[in-house]
């Protein structure tokens, strides 16, 4: 499963990219606003740090405006993916871009039939928001499973990008459900390394090694 970082914090993305485990980055208007930096400079720096797909979201609400914004965003770097909302206008713009072989990430997906429409519109990625569904008393991971079944039934190439991920459990469940990718906040990524038994085991190994008085180098 591909792991994307959901952030517009350039120094933090740079640090995580050094692990070699980051396959891409997703951004959105809220994350750009939180960064407090110019959108084009921020995206340019992220694209230079991560060679994989970097989602940049259009903010227009009509397809013509989305397409105009897409042109400006695509000029930033070859690894830019245009992020569009799952609305009628967004899907219209998606279809136009997909016909030009432009990669599109359709976001704000909350139902399997929405995901079906996005795939028919030629989306490269569909972003189901599992955490927000959980917050509203629904099962976000059931949506991932439903989309997986539908896409497999009809041979759609659209990749399932689990989004709105709250914790490591969501990452595990998304992988088990067959998501192609997951986009996670930096804190969730660093938490994937952590387990109390790993920490305890390492502490014991180091203590025992120190008692031998030996050195490897």
CA atoms within 13 A on the CB side of 156: 24
- Has residue 161 been placed in a domain? yes
What confidence tens digit (pLDDT) does each residue in 86-135 have? 999 999 999 999 999 999 999 999 999 999 999 999 999 999 999 999 99
Q: What is the DSSP letter of 181?
A: E
What confidence tens digit (pLDDT) does each residue in 57-77 have? 999 999 999 999 999 999 999
- As for how many domains the chain has, the answer is 1
Domain that holds residue 136: 2-212
- Has residue 217 been placed in a domain? no
- Has residue 153 been placed in a domain? yes
Which residue in the list 83, 92, 120, 207 is annotated as catalytic?
A: 83
User: Would you call 139 helix, strand, or coil by DSSP?
Assistant: coil
What confidence tens digit (pLDDT) does each residue in 150-193 have? 999 999 999 999 999 999 999 999 999 999 999 999 999 999 99
- Has residue 186 been placed in a domain? yes
CA atoms within 13 A on the CB side of 168: 8
What pLDDT is recorded for position 54?
98
- Count of other CB atoms within 10 angstroms of residue 142: 13
- Has residue 198 been placed in a domain? yes
Concerning whether 92 is annotated as a catalytic residue, the answer is no
Q: Where are the beta strands (DSSP E) in the chain?
A: 2-6, 24-26, 54-57, 80-85, 104-109, 125-128, 159-162, 181-184
- Has residue 197 been placed in a domain? yes
Q: Name, in order, each residue with C-beta under 8 angstroms of 67's C-beta and a sequence gap of 6 or more.
A: 93, 96, 97
CATH code of the domain covering residue 137: 3.20.20.70
User: Would you call 35 helix, strand, or coil by DSSP?
Assistant: helix
Average pLDDT over the chain, rounded to an integer: 97
């Amino acid at each position: 499963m591909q792991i994307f970082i959901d952030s517009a914090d350039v120094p933090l993305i740079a640090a995580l990219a050094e692990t070699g485990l980051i396959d891409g980055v997703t951004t959105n208007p809220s994350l750009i606003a939180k960064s407090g930096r110019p959108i084009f400079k921020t995206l340019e720096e992220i694209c230079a740090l991560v060679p994989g797909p970097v989602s940049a979201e259009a903010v227009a609400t009509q397809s013509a405006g989305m397409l105009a914004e897409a042109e400006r965003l695509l000029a930033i770097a070859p690894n830019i993916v245009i992020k569009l909302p799952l609305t009628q206008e967004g899907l219209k713009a998606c279809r136009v871009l997909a016909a030009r072989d432009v990669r599109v990430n359709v976001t704000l997906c909350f139902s399997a039939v929405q995901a079906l429409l996005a795939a028919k519109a030629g989306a490269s990625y569909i972003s189901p928001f599992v955490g927000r569904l959980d917050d509203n008393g629904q099962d976000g991971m059931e949506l991932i499973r439903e989309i997986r079944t539908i896409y497999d039934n009809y041979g759609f190439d659209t990749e399932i990008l689990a989004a709105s991920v709250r914790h490591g459990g969501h990452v595990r469940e998304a992988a088990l459900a067959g998501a192609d990718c997951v986009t996670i906040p930096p804190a969730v990524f660093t938490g994937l390394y952590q387990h109390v038994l790993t920490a305890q085991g390492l502490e014991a190994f180091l203590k025992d090694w120190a008692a031998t008085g030996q050195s490897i180098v």
